[in-house]
Amino acid sequence: MSIDLIIRGAKCVSHRGIENSDIAVRDGIIVAIGQFVDVKADHIINGDGLHILPGLIDSDFQFTDQVETVETGTKAALMGGVTSIISKSKDATNQEIWCDHGYFEQACKANIDKLDTLERQEGCAGIYLTMANINDQEAITDDKSLLKVMENGDRRVVVHAEDQQRLDQRLSFIEKDHVSSHAVWRDQKVALNGTRRILAIARAGGRRVHLAHISTENEMAMVAANKDIATLSVSPIHLSFASEDCYDHYGNYAQTDPPIREENNRLGLYKAISGAIVDMLGSHHNAQSIAQKEQQYPLSTSGIPSVQTMLPLMLNHVNNGVFSLQTLMDLTSAGPARIFNIANKGRLAVGYDADFTLIDLKKKWILEDDDVMSGCGWDLSAGQQFTGKVIGTMVRGHMAMWNGEITKEATGKPLKFTDTFRAFEKE
């Protein structure tokens, strides 16, 4: 049997634990894991001193017109060790793209009756809806329409759960030129009410839901009580920053929806990770231009770039003993693949795609402004020291990024899903 690639001597992080193993790849697929001292291959990578994770899957990613293009966004993903993204933009599937990709069909009142068909298109991972007005996204705010979404289709519905009615009632809490009032206006009850409503509606409609970028500790208890129909994700933004100091330090650049909250909620998210309530991490990447951020609040736009720094931020926590590398693997690879039924992704196992994130767990480095790959040109973590660095990102056996250099060739392909396998086109 001919072998295209062998990675030798790295520590593989998988369902088996963490062990020194070689990985053999042929035609972009893992064909063997073990010790292959005498086996020859067309290419051999020395993995001494590195850990290999299954390629990261980011299911909370957004392109932004004229700011984050398909090229800049997916290159930023590769720099952060992300090999697959699921975005809120179907348009990306028609362009050259640097990592594998899928999309969520966004529900709106105009397409509710068609969702059961739209959710089965090539590359579609499910349905997305927002219950609150966010930038230019069309919200579905009334219970009748939300129930209709739940009853029209059977794939998982990803939800941004904030209660628009309470937001409308609290407009007086917005203070001009005081971005810290963003978290006062969009208070915890805005999130709690939204999550409580959508869980009840999902149960009534018999539909599985995924609550994206949960920001409060109390929401965790709600979802934990409804695990038969609900999963959830948290973002590195809400895990890494607290409202007590971030608005003074970062100003409008810290504005996002749901907002960055108090330290007690940030710690509550970590408790939920420890309790295995959290199913996955999603970057909540939503890059906005400096010009948009520099507008006077509340005219400034919500959104923070985070796909490039999600893994480095979490590796800091691994090195500090907050959680294990295996837990991180489950949250960033195995979890998303399991919940969204992504075919051949999320594991270091024979028969799976050769998607690898190679990291130097002990490498100390500082993210410089020039390192930011996102089209917006900024990152909240610029200037921060990290312990743990992404050295290489491989997509189906192709070295897409190595030591900060990204390949010139765009090799991304649409993701496939096991719950729509009948729709696969013949290759």
Residues 89 and 207 in one domain: yes
Four-residue CA torsion sign, 65, 209, 235, 317: negative
Per-residue pLDDT of the chain in tens (427 residues, 90 and over written 9):
689 999 999 999 999 899 999 999 999 999 999 998 888 999 999 999 999 999 999 999 999 988 999 999 999 999 999 999 999 888 776 788 999 999 999 999 999 999 999 999 999 999 999 999 998 789 999 999 999 999 999 999 999 999 999 999 999 999 999 999 999 999 999 999 999 999 999 999 999 999 999 999 999 999 999 999 999 999 999 999 999 999 999 999 999 999 999 999 999 999 999 999 999 999 999 999 999 999 999 999 999 999 999 999 999 999 999 999 999 999 999 999 999 999 999 999 999 999 999 999 999 999 999 999 999 999 999 999 999 999 999 999 999 999 999 988 899 999 999 999 875 555 5
Four-residue CA torsion sign, 46, 50, 52, 55: negative
CA geometry: angle 141, 147, 148, nearest 5 deg: 100
Residues 69 and 38 in one domain: no
**CA–CA separation, 68 vs 305, rounded Å?**
9
- Joined together, the tokens standing for residue 363 give 């490498």
Residues 241 and 384 in one domain: no
Would residue 418 count as lying in a domain?
no
Q: Which residues is 178 bridged to in the sheet?
A: none
Would residue 381 count as lying in a domain?
yes
- Listed in sequence order, the residues at least 6 apart from 38 whose beta carbon sits closer than 8 Å to its beta carbon are none
Which residue is it, tokens 């973590």? 381
Domain boundary among 318, 339, 360: 339
Residues 229 and 286 in one domain: yes
From residue 74, alpha-carbon distances to 47, 71, 144, 355 in Å are 25, 6, 37, 15
Residues 255 and 400 in one domain: no
Would residue 107 count as lying in a domain?
yes
Amino acid, res. 368: E
From residue 194, alpha-carbon distances to 102, 121, 156, 222, 389 in Å are 26, 29, 18, 11, 37
172 class by beta-carbon count within 10 Å (0-12 exposed, 13-18 middle, 19+ buried): exposed
By the 8 A CB rule, do 325 and 13 touch? yes
Residues 14 and 153 in one domain: no
Q: Which residues is 417 bridged to in the sheet?
A: 342
Would residue 150 count as lying in a domain?
yes
**If you count them, how many residues does the chain have?**
427
Domain boundary among 339, 372, 387: 339
Residues 333 and 399 in one domain: no
Residues 85 and 187 in one domain: yes
Domain that holds residue 328: 56-339
**CA–CA separation, 208 vs 259, rounded Å?**
25
Domain count across the chain? 2
By the 8 A CB rule, do 159 and 140 touch? no
CA geometry: angle 107, 291, 255, nearest 5 deg: 55
Would residue 180 count as lying in a domain?
yes
CATH of the domain at 390: 2.30.40.10
CATH of the domain at 285: 3.20.20.140
Would residue 37 count as lying in a domain?
yes
Residues 83 and 40 in one domain: no
Would residue 420 count as lying in a domain?
no
What pLDDT was estimated at residue 424? 55
User: H helices of 83-187, where?
Assistant: 115-118, 143-151, 164-169, 181-185
- Joined together, the tokens standing for residue 240 give 């890494």
**CA–CA separation, 323 vs 117, rounded Å?**
40
Residues 329 and 315 in one domain: yes
Residues 134 and 35 in one domain: no
pLDDT digits 0-9 by tens, 293-347: 999 999 999 999 999 999 999 999 999 999 999 999 999 999 999 999 999 999 9
- Listed in sequence order, the residues at least 6 apart from 229 whose beta carbon sits closer than 8 Å to its beta carbon are 199, 202, 203, 207, 208, 209
Residues 362 and 326 in one domain: no
- Closest C-alpha to 93, from 125, 115, 116, 117: 125
Would residue 194 count as lying in a domain?
yes
